[in-house]
Amino acid sequence: MYLKHSKPPHGTFHYSVVSPGGNNAETFAMAIDQLRLLRNAFCHSFSSAIDKKTFDQYIQHTKDAIKALGVTTAPIDAVGSLTESDFPTEKVCRLKDDITKELQTENTFLKENVEDQLIGVRSDLAQSRQEQQEDLSEMRKTIEKATADQTEIKELLKTERPGK
């Protein structure tokens, strides 16, 4: 309700999170929306690195939103005072690459095992079908022989006992 008329353009942040009319509910809504916009900026970023200027802007937007909510900004100040060397992005990238390689290796291993098992199951299934076909063929032969024997017995009975 409060954000309908004060939504910033896509990719930007609220100019101020404090309600121009002094409405606390509007201030809270804008502060929470500012935090949502910051979260989205981080989550939808194409890179794990940001420049110092952007970092400082994000820190300031966060401090403004947190302050508007009436919460202490000391932890944000602590993060804001960190230097570039405190964020080991190269190490994080290496770890991410290592994790990706490990997952690919695991997927390859699982894929090979599953393929081998599927080939075995297919082979067993084909063998089972072949055995069923052979059994069915034997049954047909037995039925045909029994039918022929029955016909022969009927003919014998007719010739042995004519008229009956």
**pLDDT, tens digit, 9 for 90 and up, residues 32-46:** 888 989 998 888 888
CA distance 114 to 127: 20
pTM for this predicted structure: 0.49
CA distance 24 to 1: 13
CA distance 69 to 28: 6
CA 90 from chain center: how many Å? 26
- Compute the chain's Rg from CA coordinates: 40
**pLDDT, tens digit, 9 for 90 and up, residues 80-103:** 898 877 777 777 788 888 888 988
The answer to whether residues 7 and 38 touch, using CB atoms and an 8 Å cutoff, is no
